[in-house]
Amino acid sequence: RLYIKRQGWIEIICGGMFSGKSEELIRRIRRAKIAKLQVMAFKPAIDDRYHSEAIASHNGLIADAHPVSSATELMSLITSEVDVVAIDEVQFFEPEIVEVCQDLADQGKRVICAGLDQDFRGKPFGPTPLLLSVAEYVTKLQAICVKCGAPASRTQRLIDGRPAAVNDPVIQVGASEQYEARCRHCHELVV
Ligand code: ADP
Ligand code: ZN
Protein backbone atom coordinates (compact mmCIF):
# COMPACT_ATOMS: atom_id res chain seq x y z
CA ARG A 1 0.00 0.00 0.00
CA LEU A 2 1.20 3.47 -0.81
CA TYR A 3 1.37 5.97 2.02
CA ILE A 4 3.22 9.13 2.89
CA LYS A 5 5.47 8.82 5.92
CA ARG A 6 4.88 11.72 8.25
CA GLN A 7 7.83 13.85 9.29
CA GLY A 8 8.66 15.25 12.73
CA TRP A 9 10.21 13.67 15.81
CA ILE A 10 12.56 14.31 18.74
CA GLU A 11 16.08 12.95 19.04
CA ILE A 12 18.11 13.41 22.21
CA ILE A 13 21.83 12.92 22.72
CA CYS A 14 22.74 12.74 26.42
CA GLY A 15 25.59 11.75 28.74
CA GLY A 16 28.21 13.36 30.97
CA MET A 17 30.76 16.02 30.08
CA PHE A 18 33.33 14.96 27.42
CA SER A 19 31.09 12.08 26.26
CA GLY A 20 30.91 13.57 22.74
CA LYS A 21 27.42 15.10 22.78
CA SER A 22 28.41 18.29 20.96
CA GLU A 23 30.57 16.30 18.54
CA GLU A 24 27.60 14.03 17.71
CA LEU A 25 25.18 16.99 17.45
CA ILE A 26 27.54 18.76 15.04
CA ARG A 27 27.85 15.55 13.00
CA ARG A 28 24.06 15.33 12.66
CA ILE A 29 23.82 19.05 11.75
CA ARG A 30 26.46 18.59 9.08
CA ARG A 31 24.73 15.58 7.55
CA ALA A 32 21.38 17.37 7.52
CA LYS A 33 23.02 20.23 5.61
CA ILE A 34 24.50 17.77 3.12
CA ALA A 35 20.94 16.53 2.61
CA LYS A 36 20.03 20.18 1.80
CA LEU A 37 17.74 20.50 4.80
CA GLN A 38 17.27 23.90 6.44
CA VAL A 39 18.95 23.67 9.84
CA MET A 40 18.70 26.15 12.71
CA ALA A 41 20.89 25.56 15.75
CA PHE A 42 20.50 27.08 19.21
CA LYS A 43 22.24 27.24 22.55
CA PRO A 44 21.34 28.88 25.86
CA ALA A 45 22.76 32.41 26.07
CA ILE A 46 24.46 31.59 29.39
CA ASP A 47 26.80 29.02 27.84
CA ASP A 48 29.80 30.84 26.41
CA ARG A 49 32.41 28.13 26.88
CA TYR A 50 34.25 28.90 23.66
CA HIS A 51 32.14 30.98 21.29
CA SER A 52 29.00 32.95 21.92
CA GLU A 53 27.48 32.22 18.49
CA ALA A 54 28.56 28.62 17.97
CA ILE A 55 28.23 25.10 19.25
CA ALA A 56 31.76 23.96 20.03
CA SER A 57 33.01 20.49 20.96
CA HIS A 58 36.02 19.75 23.16
CA ASN A 59 37.83 18.35 20.14
CA GLY A 60 37.53 21.55 18.14
CA LEU A 61 34.44 21.09 15.96
CA ILE A 62 32.22 24.13 15.51
CA ALA A 63 28.71 24.83 14.17
CA ASP A 64 26.91 28.18 14.01
CA ALA A 65 24.23 28.61 16.67
CA HIS A 66 21.85 31.32 17.84
CA PRO A 67 22.20 32.08 21.54
CA VAL A 68 18.71 32.36 23.11
CA SER A 69 17.67 33.24 26.63
CA SER A 70 14.43 31.24 26.75
CA ALA A 71 12.41 28.49 25.10
CA THR A 72 9.90 31.14 23.99
CA GLU A 73 12.60 33.16 22.26
CA LEU A 74 13.81 30.00 20.50
CA MET A 75 10.27 29.25 19.25
CA SER A 76 9.83 32.84 18.00
CA LEU A 77 12.89 32.53 15.72
CA ILE A 78 11.73 29.44 13.87
CA THR A 79 10.17 29.92 10.46
CA SER A 80 8.17 27.47 8.37
CA GLU A 81 11.15 26.77 6.05
CA VAL A 82 13.17 25.25 8.90
CA ASP A 83 13.40 21.44 8.66
CA VAL A 84 15.79 20.65 11.50
CA VAL A 85 16.06 22.33 14.92
CA ALA A 86 19.26 21.56 16.88
CA ILE A 87 19.66 22.55 20.53
CA ASP A 88 22.90 22.18 22.51
CA GLU A 89 23.26 22.32 26.33
CA VAL A 90 19.51 21.71 26.59
CA GLN A 91 19.80 21.08 30.36
CA PHE A 92 20.09 24.85 30.92
CA PHE A 93 16.63 25.62 29.52
CA GLU A 94 13.54 25.86 31.71
CA PRO A 95 10.96 23.03 31.56
CA GLU A 96 9.01 24.91 28.82
CA ILE A 97 11.61 23.68 26.33
CA VAL A 98 9.85 20.30 26.43
CA GLU A 99 6.55 21.73 25.11
CA VAL A 100 8.46 23.72 22.49
CA CYS A 101 10.23 20.57 21.25
CA GLN A 102 6.93 18.66 21.23
CA ASP A 103 5.19 21.44 19.23
CA LEU A 104 8.03 21.60 16.71
CA ALA A 105 8.01 17.82 16.23
CA ASP A 106 4.20 17.88 15.86
CA GLN A 107 4.63 20.55 13.16
CA GLY A 108 6.86 18.14 11.21
CA LYS A 109 10.30 19.31 12.27
CA ARG A 110 13.18 17.07 13.23
CA VAL A 111 14.30 18.24 16.69
CA ILE A 112 17.76 17.19 17.89
CA CYS A 113 18.66 18.04 21.49
CA ALA A 114 22.00 17.47 23.23
CA GLY A 115 22.56 17.88 26.94
CA LEU A 116 23.78 16.59 30.28
CA ASP A 117 21.46 14.00 31.79
CA GLN A 118 23.03 14.28 35.27
CA ASP A 119 24.40 17.19 37.26
CA PHE A 120 27.70 17.00 39.19
CA ARG A 121 25.87 15.24 42.02
CA GLY A 122 24.64 12.50 39.69
CA LYS A 123 21.03 13.76 39.85
CA PRO A 124 18.75 14.18 36.79
CA PHE A 125 19.53 17.56 35.25
CA GLY A 126 16.79 20.10 34.42
CA PRO A 127 14.54 19.27 31.46
CA THR A 128 16.81 16.52 30.03
CA PRO A 129 15.06 13.62 31.83
CA LEU A 130 11.69 14.93 30.59
CA LEU A 131 12.98 15.05 27.02
CA LEU A 132 14.34 11.50 27.34
CA SER A 133 10.86 10.26 28.11
CA VAL A 134 9.11 11.94 25.17
CA ALA A 135 11.83 11.56 22.51
CA GLU A 136 11.51 9.00 19.70
CA TYR A 137 15.26 8.41 19.60
CA VAL A 138 17.62 8.43 22.59
CA THR A 139 21.40 8.24 22.34
CA LYS A 140 23.30 7.96 25.62
CA LEU A 141 27.05 8.47 25.27
CA GLN A 142 29.83 7.73 27.73
CA ALA A 143 33.15 9.52 28.17
CA ILE A 144 36.29 7.80 29.46
CA CYS A 145 36.84 7.89 33.23
CA VAL A 146 40.03 9.89 33.88
CA LYS A 147 40.73 7.78 37.00
CA CYS A 148 40.31 4.20 35.78
CA GLY A 149 39.64 4.24 32.03
CA ALA A 150 36.16 2.70 32.28
CA PRO A 151 33.19 4.20 30.42
CA ALA A 152 32.20 7.35 32.34
CA SER A 153 28.56 8.28 32.90
CA ARG A 154 29.20 11.04 35.43
CA THR A 155 30.73 14.50 35.65
CA GLN A 156 33.09 15.16 38.54
CA ARG A 157 33.09 18.73 39.85
CA LEU A 158 36.34 19.90 41.45
CA ILE A 159 36.81 23.09 43.47
CA ASP A 160 40.46 24.07 43.85
CA GLY A 161 41.32 20.49 42.82
CA ARG A 162 39.13 18.80 45.45
CA PRO A 163 35.79 17.01 44.97
CA ALA A 164 32.90 19.45 45.35
CA ALA A 165 30.33 19.11 48.11
CA VAL A 166 26.61 18.54 47.47
CA ASN A 167 25.80 22.01 48.76
CA ASP A 168 28.63 24.02 47.24
CA PRO A 169 27.24 27.12 45.53
CA VAL A 170 27.07 26.91 41.74
CA ILE A 171 29.39 29.92 41.42
CA GLN A 172 32.22 30.30 43.91
CA VAL A 173 34.02 33.61 43.70
CA GLY A 174 37.79 33.29 43.73
CA ALA A 175 37.80 29.48 43.57
CA SER A 176 39.02 27.57 40.56
CA GLU A 177 36.47 25.16 39.23
CA GLN A 178 37.01 22.16 37.00
CA TYR A 179 35.02 19.28 35.61
CA GLU A 180 36.20 15.84 34.57
CA ALA A 181 34.68 12.61 33.30
CA ARG A 182 34.38 9.81 35.84
CA CYS A 183 32.60 6.49 36.12
CA ARG A 184 30.06 5.76 38.87
CA HIS A 185 32.72 4.13 41.07
CA CYS A 186 35.32 6.90 40.81
CA HIS A 187 32.76 9.73 41.15
CA GLU A 188 33.21 11.53 44.48
CA LEU A 189 30.76 13.79 46.28
CA VAL A 190 31.51 15.38 49.63
CA VAL A 191 28.40 15.33 51.82
P1 ADP B 1 30.39 16.90 25.38
O2 ADP B 1 29.58 17.79 24.48
O3 ADP B 1 29.66 15.62 25.74
O4 ADP B 1 30.95 17.59 26.59
P5 ADP B 1 32.38 17.07 23.30
O6 ADP B 1 31.72 16.62 22.03
O7 ADP B 1 32.51 18.54 23.52
O8 ADP B 1 31.64 16.36 24.55
O9 ADP B 1 33.84 16.49 23.40
C10 ADP B 1 34.17 15.14 23.10
C11 ADP B 1 35.69 15.06 22.93
O12 ADP B 1 36.33 15.36 24.16
C13 ADP B 1 36.23 13.70 22.57
O14 ADP B 1 36.15 13.44 21.19
C15 ADP B 1 37.68 13.80 23.03
O16 ADP B 1 38.49 14.34 22.00
C17 ADP B 1 37.64 14.82 24.15
N18 ADP B 1 37.88 14.29 25.50
C19 ADP B 1 38.60 14.91 26.47
N20 ADP B 1 38.58 14.22 27.63
C21 ADP B 1 37.83 13.11 27.41
C22 ADP B 1 37.43 11.99 28.22
N23 ADP B 1 37.78 11.88 29.51
N24 ADP B 1 36.64 11.04 27.66
C25 ADP B 1 36.29 11.14 26.36
N26 ADP B 1 36.63 12.16 25.54
C27 ADP B 1 37.39 13.15 26.05
ZN1 ZN C 1 36.49 5.10 37.08
Task: Tell me the per-residue pLDDT of 111-127, one tens digit each, with 9 for 90 and over.
Answer: 999 999 999 999 999 99
Cβ atoms within 10 Å, residue 73: 13
Q: How far apart are CA 18 and CA 37, in angstroms?
A: 28
Active-site entry in 11, 23, 24, 89? 89
Ligand 1 in contact with 28 (CB < 6 A)? no
Q: Give the distance (Å) from ligand 2 centre to CA of residue 159.
A: 19
Q: Give the distance (Å) from ligand 2 centre to CA of residue 182.
A: 5
Q: Give the distance (Å) from ligand 1 centre to CA of residue 142.
A: 9
Measured distance between the N- and C-terminal CA atoms of the chain, rounded to whole angstroms:
61
Known catalytic residue at 177:
no
**In this predicted structure, which of 18-27, 44-53, 56-65, 174-183 has the lowest mean pLDDT?**
44-53
In the predicted model, what is the mean pLDDT of residues 62-88?
97
Which amino acid residue places its CA nearest to atom 15 of ligand 1?
Answer: 59
On whether the pTM is more than 0.90, the answer is yes
Residues in contact with 92: Cβ distance below 8 Å, sequence separation at least 6, in sequence order? 44, 46, 47, 115, 126
Task: Tell me the per-residue pLDDT of 31-58, one tens digit each, with 9 for 90 and over.
Answer: 999 999 999 999 999 755 555 789 999 9
